[in-house]
Structures are given as structure tokens and as C-alpha cells.
Amino acid sequence: MIHERESLMDTERYEALSKRTRLRALEMALQAGAGHLGGSFSCADILVALYYGGLLRHDPADPTWTDRDRLILSKGHANNTLYVILADRGYFPPEELDRFCRPGSFLGNHCDKMVPGVETISGSLGHGLGTAAGLAWGARLSGRDYRVFCILGDGESQEGSIWEAAMFAHQRRLGNLVGILDRNRLGSEDFTEDTAGLDPVEDKWAAFGWDVRSINGHDFHDIFAALGDVCSRDRQRPLMIVANTVKGRGMPVLENTPRAHHTLPKGEQIEMARRVLV
Amino acid sequence: MTRAYTEARDACFEELFEIASHDKDVILLTADTGAFAFQRFRAELPDQFFNVGIAEQNAMTVAAGLALSGKRVFVFGISNFVTLRCFEQIKLDICCMDLPVTIIGMGTGYVYPKDGPTHHMTDILSLVRTLPGLTVWSPSDYSIIAAAIRSAYRADGPTYLYMDKGPFDATYSPDADFSDGLAVLRSGRDVTLVATGVMVAQAMRVATRLTERGIDAGVIDLYRIKPLNVPLLERALAGSRRVVTVEENSVIGGLGSLVCETVAEAGLPASVKRLGIQDTYRCDISDREGMRALDGLDLEGIERTVCRWMDDDTGYRTAPQPLRSVGSRRPQRRRQTSEVTR
């Protein structure tokens, strides 16, 4: 079981892990000629904190352990960095990453439940928060103390079903549910504020009855400060962490551009990305 | 001992209450529909019954999450709303993950004949039968409803119970075995009517009327749409030269399509006529039989179709009745597929 609490000040270690995770995800995507690096990189630091920083109670040797915390990656296209982390933590052999998106591999371009460590299928947006709420509610009804984390996209938050789930989670007082909004301000092809704007997004979640914390999603001090106490608090309200991030963070050529969604670096861009991530 | 029921809701919810009262992991959700039927749940099993509000997409994802946490979940609502509004959630979060969630869709076909196209269940059968792994019940009788609930509770995967409020003709014994998925209710050498759900009683009445005209009609009740018992259906249709399918559902993709697929793939010699709702939206207001008449699904309409077919084939001299007028029928607003530009 992995439940150790890391030093909150050990940010250098997490930053190194983040770089290593992004670099491996980059190589995996380049090898496959497929991937969603933009959204995978914007939530990479949050995933590193959850899986390496002791925030998530889990056991790679027993992926279906009843009392594990559940993590739902609702923005299921952003699985590149998640798969790298799951392999590194021991959920499946790292060699499988070399088979990403290849015929016969269980690692496809969106999350699937058949991947050890992945809780639900995701890839169509707007589903994950409701499923996470159902899981959190099931834990409550069964008297179990696991928590449910759900990483949402901000483009995804344009789906109405997200707000159905938001109302429901508040109604049921799901204090064991933690949403993390990957606020990279980009959808699939455009900036969210140019299509169906979400701001002031913190106020929206607060108006729906959630506790809200706004952080820099690439700053480990911020991440641990926001998430560090969710394990111990007896919450009565669901918590939304609005993680302000940069789509494609770590690949300067694609950072904060609409192309970052599923464009892979090409030519010289590849070496530039590698140099940044080494 | 299995109970005999005389109301569809009783067959469904009393059977479910009995199960839930012995298993606290059984959860019933409603999307703000059917409160009266749930009074007993609310009073006696308050930790197992929840109204999750008018939010069907969320109801399905929450059901999936509850099932992932170890619960066996039943979701109730008006068929259109707990199917069409949230079809992708049913497909991905429930069926694709093969979770023990049962959707109880209340109402079939023209169960709300005065409520317009928003409340006409004209395509449910066509859609749900496309979902891999989903067991689909379309009961014609109270005993089948109760059996479907028991079967759904035991199932490891998802179930869809497409349930009309009736009234039904009680055809089956309460403790009958429904594992076959279909039953030959009567045999006939001239024509075989294949029906499902509330239209089975309609087919039986038509068969009786046809007998009076000297036409020997059989009736097959296809009460489980999926998984389809293909060998048994093939055997049941093997001796038929004429097959008429009868459904309060679009002629596209539902019972008629299912029978045509079976006949064609088995190489059976039967010709098939599909009676169902044509490819249009019915904006008419009428009673249920009046709505059926628009597509020849009323008693006279089905009888007329069979009689004309027999006339054409064999020179039978029958006296087809003219199309019955519908008093409140308005001009039809037909929207042909070719006019849809989106």
C-alpha cells in the first residue's frame, strides 16, 4: 500500500518526476504517432503529486483493493502522462508504453477500464464527475472511507452533465469527493472564453455549493497546500480545486496554443521539447 | 413462491421491494418520476431509494458509480427520458463497463397518446437493441415484468426493462420459466403475427378475428428482445409463409427489423410485412387505438393488412373495412428524412 506522506518541501523531487513523466509520455506519443500531449501535460504535475506524493491511497499490487482511493480521469484523452505514471508505479510493465496505440496493446488513445489502475472508461467528455459522485456516494452508503478524485477539463466543463453532477454532489454532501479542474483555458480547438466562457469559474463552483480552492496547477507548494488536508478533514461539502495550468506545459512550442490538443511536435520541435524536459 | 400481479407497477415495484428488503446493496433511483409507486420504498427503505432530480444523464453516471462501488442499481423514469437524453451514458458508463444497472423505462409506444411527439416512445426498441451486453425485456404480461426484475437482480451486467403500464392480458403463470425469451402463443397455418410488449394482446385479438374470417393465424410473443433466442425464433418461423410483425415502434430497427434479419440470415421461405410506426413524427392527438390507426396498428388495420395479403396471394374473398377516421386528427406534419438538413 502506498500512503506515505512526502515532505511538502520536496518540490525538486516532484519537479524531476514531472519532467521524467512528460519526457516518457512525449517519447511514447512520438513512437505511436498519436496522443494528446497538451492536456496530458497540463495535468501532469497534479498526477505526480497524487501518485508520488502520498495524496492517493492506492496499491499497484492490488488495483481492485476495496478501500483504495479512486481517481477518475474524466478528461480521458489526457491519459499519456497517467499511463506513464501507472507503469512507473507498477500497475503494468513499462514496456507496454512502447506499444501505446499499437494493435494488440491495451493502452489506447483514451482511458479504458481494462488498463490496470484505471477506474472507468473515459474519452467522451462530461461523464466522469457523475460517476465519481456515484462512487463517493456508494462509499458513504457502505460506510467506507475511501475518497474519490476526479480530474476535469475546463473545455469539458462546457458540458451540461458536469453541472448536473455538481448539483447532485452538493445535495448529497459528498465531502469525500474532490474535483480538480485542469483550467488550461483551452478546449479542443479554441480558448474556452472564446466559445462558451466559464469565468468566473470559481464563483460558479461556489454557487453550486462546493468548497473551492484556486491554485497554480504547476506549483507543488500550491498543489500540496490545496490537497494535503483532504485526507484528514471530515468534509461535508465536495471540494473543487481550480488548478490554473498551461496546456502543453513543458513543450514551449505548443504551450497555450489550440494546436496543443492533439498535435505532436515535429522536426526541430522534438529536440527542443526533449531539451526542455531532460 | 412467486406472486400473481394484476398491475404492471405492482409487478415491478413490489417484486423489487421484496428483493431490496433482503439486500441493502440494492439501490433504486428515480429521476423525479413515479413518486406514488415509491411510497413504500421511501417509508421503509429510505437508505435505498433516492430521487436524484430531473437530470437523467447524471442519474446514469451516478448509477454507474454506485455499481462500481458494489451496489446493484435500478433507475426508473419515463422511457424516453431515461433512454434518449442519456443514451451515451447508458452506452459507455453502464453497458461498455458491463455494470449491474437496470433501467426501468416506464411506457412504450403510444402510452401517452395525447402528449405529442415528446412523449411518444417510437424508437426505444430500435436504439437499445444496438447496445452490446444489454439484456432487453419487453414484457407482454405482469408475470414477465416480475420475472425480468428477478432476472435483472441476478444478472452481472446491465438490463433494460421496457415496460408498458398495461393493462395486459395475463397470459402466463406467475412461476413460468421465461428463459426462452419468446413463446408461441398460438399456431396458425396461414400467417404468423410476431408481436412484443403491449401489442401481443393486440395480435391475439386480431388472430381471433381472423379465425372468424377463416384465416388461421399464429402469434409469437417476443418478450426478450436481447439476447435474442435465434434458434428458437428460427424454429418458430420455419413453417410460416407469411409473417406480420406488430410493434408500437418505428419500422426502422425494431421488432420488424429483427425478424427480417432472422428470416433472411436463416434463409427461411417466409415473406415479412412490418407493421409499425412509419418514418415520421405523429403530431396527432387521439386515444391510443386512434394513434395506432394512423399506421394501421389498430385492430382493424392489422386485420385489413392480413386480409389483403391473403386476398392477393390466394384469392380469399374478405371484406376489408375502410380506414377508421380519428375524430381529433389534425393534418399530419410529416418530416421526411430528406428534408432534414442538419
Prediction ipTM score: 0.94
pLDDT at A174 over 60: yes
pLDDT of residue A231: 62
pLDDT of residue A253: 86
* Homologous superfamily assigned to B8-163: Thiamin diphosphate (ThDP)-binding fold, Pyr/PP domains (3.40.50.970)
Q: In sequence order, what are the residues at sequence separation of 6 or more whose Cβ sits closer than 8 angstroms to the Cβ of residue B140? A: B168, B171, B195, B196, B197, B198, B199, B200, B201, B221, B223
Same fold, B8-163 and B182-314: yes
Check CB contact under 8 Å for B61 and A171.
no
pLDDT at A1 over 60: no
pLDDT at A144 over 60: yes
pLDDT of residue B262: 98
Q: Tell me the per-residue pLDDT of A58-88, one tens digit each, with 9 for 90 and over.
A: 999 999 999 999 999 999 999 999 999 999 9
Q: List CB contacts (< 8 A) between A167 and chain B.
A: 53, 55, 58
Nearest chain A CA: its distance from B86 CA (Å): 10
| Cβ pair B309, B273 in contact under 8 A | yes
Check CB contact under 8 Å for B62 and A160.
no
Residue in B139, B147, B152, B110 with CA at minimum distance from that of residue B248: B110
pLDDT of residue B314: 65
Burial letters A56-78, b for 16+ CB under 10 A, else e: bbbbbeebeeeebbbbbbbbbbb
pLDDT at A204 over 80: yes
Residue B317 or A128, more confident: A128
Q: CA dist B31 to B45, B86, B165, B326, Å?
A: 17, 12, 18, 34
A71 at B interface, C-beta within 8 A: no
Helix boundaries (H) for A183-219: 201-207
Q: What angle do CA A110, A115, A119 make, to 5 degrees?
A: 85
3-state SS class at A152: strand
Supply the pTM of this predicted model. Answer: 0.93
Total CB pairs under 8 A between chain A and B: 97
- Distance (Å, whole) CA B186 – CA B180: 16
Q: Tell me the per-residue pLDDT of B109-151, one tens digit each, with 9 for 90 and over.
A: 999 999 999 999 999 999 999 999 999 999 999 999 999 999 9
Which residue carries 469527493 as its cell?
Answer: A177
| Cβ pair B290, B326 in contact under 8 A | yes
Check CB contact under 8 Å for A127 and B63.
no
Residue in B152, B118, B204, B110 with CA at minimum distance from that of residue B12: B152
A16 at B interface, C-beta within 8 A: no
Mean pLDDT over A201-213 rounds to: 97
Annotated domain spans of chain B = 8-163, 182-314
What confidence category does residue B324 fall into, taking pLDDT thresholds of 50, 70 and 90?
A: very low
Neighbours of B173 (CB within 10 A): 11
- In SS3 terms, B67-99 reads as HHCCCEEEEEEECCCCCCCCHHHHHHHHHCCCC
Q: CA dist B311 to B202, B300, B320, Å?
A: 22, 16, 10
Task: Extract the C-alpha cell encoding B92.
Answer: 459507455
What confidence category does residue B238 fall into, taking pLDDT thresholds of 50, 70 and 90?
A: very high
What is the rounded end-to-end Cα distance, in angstroms, of chain B?
54
Please tell us whether the domain made up of A11-277 is placed in CATH 3.30.360.10.
no
Nearest chain B CA: its distance from A112 CA (Å): 9
Q: Tell me the per-residue pLDDT of A17-41, one tens digit each, with 9 for 90 and over.
A: 999 999 999 999 999 999 999 999 9
Check CB contact under 8 Å for A129 and B61.
yes
Q: Which residue among B53, B64, B96 sits closest to A134, beta carbon to beta carbon?
A: B64
Residues forming a β-bridge with A151: A73, A180
A150 at B interface, C-beta within 8 A: no
Q: List CB contacts (< 8 A) between A129 and chain B.
A: 61
Burial letters B223-234, b for 16+ CB under 10 A, else e: bbbbebeeebbe
Annotated domain spans of chain A = 11-277
Q: Which residues of B touch A (CB under 8 A)?
A: 25, 27, 47, 52-53, 55, 57-58, 60-71, 88-89, 92-93, 96-97
Q: What is the DSSP letter of A186?
A: B
Residue of A nearest to B54 (CA): A164
pLDDT of residue A10: 87
What confidence category does residue A7 fall into, taking pLDDT thresholds of 50, 70 and 90?
A: low
Q: List CB contacts (< 8 A) between A135 and chain B.
A: 65-66, 68-69
Give burial (CB, 10 Å; 0-12/13-18/19+) of A272. Answer: middle
pLDDT at A234 over 70: no
Class level of CATH domain B182-314: alpha beta
Check CB contact under 8 Å for A168 and B66.
no
Q: List CB contacts (< 8 A) between B89 and chain A.
A: 127, 130, 161
Q: List CB contacts (< 8 A) between B88 and chain A.
A: 124, 127
What confidence category does residue A232 fall into, taking pLDDT thresholds of 50, 70 and 90?
A: low
